[in-house]
Amino acid sequence: MTDNQLPIISLRGLTKSFGDKPVLRGIDLEVQPGHVLGYIGPNGAGKTTTVKILIGMLPEFEGSATVCGHDVAREPLEVKRRIGYVPESAALYDTLTPLEYLRFVGQLYGLDPQEVERRAREMLGLFDLTAELDRRMSTFSKGMRQKVLITAGMIHNPDVLFLDEPLSGLDANSVVTVKEIIARLARRGKTIFYCSHVMDVVERVCDRIVIINNGEIIADGSFEQLREMNKAASLERLFTQLTSSGGHEAVADRFIEAFEVESSAHG
Amino acid sequence: MVRLSLWLLDGLRPLFRLLGVDYGQLRATIQVKLTLDGRRRSGHMQGIEGKDRNVFVWTLFFYAFMGVFVGMVGVHTASPLVGLTIVHAFVMVMVGLSLIADFSSVLLDPTDNVILLPRPIDSRTLLVARVTHVTLYLGSLALSISAATLIAGAIVIGWWFVPVFLGTLACSVALVVFFVHVFYLLAMRLMDVERFRDVILYVQMVMTVVVVGAYQILPRLMDYKQLLSLQIDDRWWVYICPPAWMAAPVHLLAGHPSQAAVILTVLAVAVPVLGLTAVVGVLAPGFQRALAQAELNPVQRNEASVQPGRPRSWGYRLSRWVTGHPAERAAFELIWQIASRDRPFKMRTYPTVAFLLLFGCLFLLGDSREVAKTLAQLPETQKFLFLLYFACMMGPTAIFQQKFTTQPEAAWLYYALPLEYPGQVLLGAFKVMAIRFVALGFAAMAILALVIWRAAILGDVLFAACATLLVSALQAWLFARKFPFSEAFGMAQSSGRLGRSVLWMIFPAVLAGFHFVLRWIHPCTVVGAAPLVFILAVLMLRGYGQLTWPALLRASR
């Protein structure tokens, strides 16, 4: 894990707006292979938009974005072949079984169907889904769907993995497993782009943290570096220091007052 | 079905290679799409419960069956132009409606983009996959509808009919694809996605009614002697009637050479070709762009929000009048709002009202050929009783719909609330259903009856209204003991179904008999008896509202 390699993800002046509402206002970011990057920010900060641009889902943007040495706008297929994506919304074809779904996804990457099936059985089995392999996913719980999504994002052995809230809905054991998988992938030189709201997971899993707010990067560094700079004990503290005007105590007080104090107007 | 289609595709493999498509990806995509189609419920069959395996195959059989009637009309007419115009019109309407009703859920499915866009599949392969999928789907629909015509035509007209007819069938489908694309683009340009989905819902409802109505109306059509001997090639409107274009080639080849037939034949080939070119070149990309824009731009989706300053809706105003207990009122307002917004729910309930009207009209006319004469004689009969009690029998079934939803898990709320009488929630829901659906269906029939029989039957309408309320109340009290919107659609409910349907039949029949006897004594007695029935219904509803937790939990076991 040397930092003088060529960056595997590189963003320069990335700008994107929906209509007249700017979402990203010039993101500059370089990620080296083998890193686990935590990409965090408040709701609506532009996290998902950044990821969608990086994986080639949003072809129209300003600035430049390269992944694995390929320009995202010009060679989206080359990029898509080498990355995996676990979306935030649990979008699956509900009426398929996990095995059917993974076979489909594998074929889109040009993998041999038998090999896909072998991998799918193995990977889902490790997630305790062996008994559900041939059941339709419409009956699945959120955690079970998430396991299928994670498997679908990794089944083609991508070099870069984009994870958007990958642990949501998972039980504690699976959370530990996925965290271990992430650490091991990084050790093998894979790059992980990790978006999340769960600060303590980001704090522990990621070796570099980028905080964005209103479409701009406001902090970038390892957790230790950020802690040094801002004198915050935890990532959560740090995050709230940087992304809000503070006053959480006052907000909490007023929240409680709203239901404790009877308004005279309503009598 | 899936296997057959894939086998067909494998045969065309060199062609796809030639188009520069990744065949492996194409095959995988189409396989998944067809599997999904087979497991999805078709627009007008969403109401049908049961095994959802092979729904598509079942739909095809159904269409083929309807196609028999159409085919009989098609080959029975004196000139092939008239008969085939009817066949093509039917194919176009069915294909167009299915394209809008069933396929819009496919086209507007945001899952599709989230799943496919991050994968290394190029846009050409994706486009070809979509086009192939649509072609397979529509082709099998069109073929099953016209299978009977094809066979009958081959026998009656000659073997050459088969290739010519298949050719015109392909042109018909192409034309419909063009029209639907224009419709989609216009709709997307004029309204936002949410409104658009509403429009599609209405199309689905129309389709439901058309499918069932066609069943009833087509056999009647066959007897119209006039139609059989009709000649239309000298009418001006054939030139703007696409089904007539499609009928022209067979007409021409069957030995009716006329200037009109030649012009129509040219139109039949030229317009679909131009249309398809427009679809591929302009409309499809434009549509994809519009869709992507609508999807990726959640910021502008203000349609789903309710303006805070807006005057309170009908539901709120009504709730003050018709509800008592706070829990009942809260339930009323909630169910009222969901009933007006939840699409699957509307899909299940509103067509019932349309059916009522449709069957009511058909019933009044009977199988008579002379509509005007029958109508003139109606006021002397007492057929309005059937009309009113038909509504009384069908309407209250809506009560039973209140428990169904696509999000049953949200019903945890009721169990978490400190409700003393959970029956109040049921009562609130009942009142919404009674007002929005039962009253609507009854009103439709009552207005129909009043238009024909005039004010003379006002008293009868009043009595029948009270009777309908009583039947609804009884049905609620006996069978609707589950919280509103607490069960998934299509949950099979075998227990008590027989008893329920028998009661639906018998109880309204008994009331109708009672009504008839009262009228026989003196027409005014019905007015006097109405309040009694009304009070009975109110008492029953009071009991319904006081159902306790144990009663409810017993029911859900």
Structure confidence by residue, pLDDT tens digits, A237-260 = 888 888 877 678 888 888 888 888
CB A53 within 8 A of CB A16: yes
**In chain B, which residues have their Cβ closer than 8 Å to the Cβ of A92?**
111, 115
Nearest C-alpha in B relative to A88:
B114
Nearest C-alpha in B relative to A54:
B118
**In chain A, which residues have their Cβ closer than 8 Å to the Cβ of B31?**
104
pLDDT for B233 equals 66
**In chain B, which residues have their Cβ closer than 8 Å to the Cβ of A103?**
28
Contact A19 B299 (CB under 8 A): yes
Nearest C-alpha in A relative to B25:
A108
Contact B118 A85 (CB under 8 A): yes
Contact B28 A96 (CB under 8 A): no
User: Is the model's pTM score more than 0.90?
Assistant: no
**In chain A, which residues have their Cβ closer than 8 Å to the Cβ of B28?**
103-104, 107-108
- CA dist., res. B472 & res. B433, Å (int): 10
Q: In 3D, which of B88, B87, B263, B288 has the Cα closest to residue B185?
A: B288
A104 and B CB contact within 8 Å: yes
Contact B121 A56 (CB under 8 A): no
Chain-centroid distance, C-alpha B535: 37
pLDDT for A126 equals 92
pLDDT in tens, B37-92: 777 654 444 434 344 456 677 778 888 888 887 777 777 776 778 888 888 888 88
Contact A100 B35 (CB under 8 A): yes
**Overall average pLDDT of the A54-81 stretch:** 89
CB A74 within 8 A of CB A68: no
Residue A154 has pLDDT above 90, yes or no: yes
Contact B36 A100 (CB under 8 A): no
CA distance A139 to chain B (A): 12
**In chain A, which residues have their Cβ closer than 8 Å to the Cβ of B116?**
108
pLDDT for B217 equals 65
- CA dist., res. A241 & res. A249, Å (int): 13
CA distance B21 to chain A (A): 12
**In chain B, which residues have their Cβ closer than 8 Å to the Cβ of A98?**
none
pLDDT for A195 equals 93
Per residue in A249-263, is it b (16+ CB within 10 Å) or e — as a string? eeeeeeeeeeeeeee
Per residue in B476-512, is it b (16+ CB within 10 Å) or e — as a string? bbebbbbbbbbbebbeeeeeeeeebeebbeebbeebb
- CA dist., res. B157 & res. B255, Å (int): 11
- Give ∠ CA A7-A16-A217 in degrees, rounded to 5: 55
For the beta carbon of residue B4, count every other beta carbon within 10 angstroms: 11
Compare CB distances from B296 to A58, A89, A109 and report the shortest one's residue: A58
CA distance B60 to chain A (A): 21
Nearest C-alpha in A relative to B37:
A95
pLDDT in tens, B32-47: 888 887 776 544 444 3
Contact B297 A18 (CB under 8 A): yes
Residue A188 has pLDDT above 90, yes or no: yes
Residue A1 has pLDDT above 50, yes or no: no
Q: In 3D, which of B133, B147, B139 has the Cα closest to residue B170?
A: B139
**In chain B, which residues have their Cβ closer than 8 Å to the Cβ of A100?**
32, 35
CA distance A96 to chain B (A): 7
- Transcribe B450-471 into DSSP letters: HHHHGGGGHHHHHHHHHHHHHH
Nearest C-alpha in B relative to A85:
B118
Q: What percent of chain A has pLDDT over 90?
A: 48
**Overall average pLDDT of the A115-138 stretch:** 91
Contact A96 B296 (CB under 8 A): no
Q: Which residue in the block uniquely carries the two structure tokens 């006053």? A: A247
- Name the β-bridge partners of B195: none
Q: Which residue in the block uniquely carries the two structure tokens 């019905």? A: B526
CA distance A264 to chain B (A): 21
A117 and B CB contact within 8 Å: no
CA distance A87 to chain B (A): 8
pLDDT for B104 equals 65
**In chain A, which residues have their Cβ closer than 8 Å to the Cβ of B121?**
77, 80, 108
Contact B36 A87 (CB under 8 A): no
Q: What is the DSSP letter of B493?
A: -
- CA dist., res. B315 & res. B335, Å (int): 9
CB B375 within 8 A of CB B417: no
- CA dist., res. B18 & res. B32, Å (int): 23
pLDDT for B52 equals 47
Q: Which of A28-37, A158-167, B437-446 has the lowest mean pLDDT?
A: B437-446
Contact B24 A18 (CB under 8 A): no
Contact B111 A92 (CB under 8 A): yes
- Give ∠ CA A95-A128-B40 in degrees, rounded to 5: 5
**Overall average pLDDT of the A201-227 stretch:** 89
* Alpha-helix residue ranges (DSSP H) falling in chain A: 47-54, 76-82, 98-108, 113-126, 142-154, 172-187, 199-205, 223-230, 235-243, 248-260
- CA dist., res. A165 & res. A194, Å (int): 8
**In chain A, which residues have their Cβ closer than 8 Å to the Cβ of B296?**
18, 58
Contact B118 A83 (CB under 8 A): yes
The ipTM is 0.77
A157 and B CB contact within 8 Å: no
pLDDT tens track of chain B, all 557 residues?
A: 678 888 888 888 888 888 788 898 999 999 988 888 777 654 444 434 344 456 677 778 888 888 887 777 777 776 778 888 888 888 888 888 777 766 666 666 666 777 888 888 887 788 788 778 888 888 888 999 888 888 888 888 888 889 999 989 988 988 888 888 788 777 777 777 667 777 777 777 777 777 767 666 666 655 555 666 666 666 777 788 888 888 888 888 887 778 888 888 888 889 888 887 777 777 766 666 666 666 555 444 444 455 554 555 777 778 878 888 888 888 888 888 888 877 777 777 777 777 777 777 777 766 555 666 777 777 777 778 888 888 777 767 777 777 777 777 777 888 877 788 888 888 998 998 888 888 888 888 888 888 888 888 888 899 999 999 998 888 888 877 888 888 776 544 444 455 566 666 788 888 888 888 888 888 788 888 889 999 999 999 999 988 888 877 776 55
Q: C-alpha dihedral over A157, A163, A165, A167, to 10 degrees? A: 30
Residue A191 φ/ψ, nearest 5 degrees: -110, 135
What angle, rounded to 10 degrees, do the helices at B123-156 and B55-76 form? 40
A75 and B CB contact within 8 Å: no
CA distance A158 to chain B (A): 11
- Transcribe B134-192 into DSSP letters: HHHHHHHHHHHHHHHHHHHHHHHT-TTHHHHHHHHHHHHHHHHHHHHHHHHHHHHHHS-
Contact A93 B115 (CB under 8 A): yes
- Phi/psi zone of residue B36: left (φ > 0), alpha (ψ -120 to 50 degrees), beta? alpha
**In chain A, which residues have their Cβ closer than 8 Å to the Cβ of B22?**
110
CB A212 within 8 A of CB A42: no
Rg of chain A (C-alpha set) = 20
CA distance A226 to chain B (A): 32
**In chain A, which residues have their Cβ closer than 8 Å to the Cβ of B27?**
107
- Give ∠ CA B422-B425-B428 in degrees, rounded to 5: 150
pLDDT for B220 equals 61
Q: Which of residues 3-32 of A touch B (CB under 8 A)?
A: 18-19, 21
What are the C-alpha distances in Å from B78 to residues B1, B73, B229? Answer: 37, 10, 5
- CA dist., res. A201 & res. A175, Å (int): 10
Contact B114 A104 (CB under 8 A): no
Contact A80 B29 (CB under 8 A): no
pLDDT for A267 equals 39
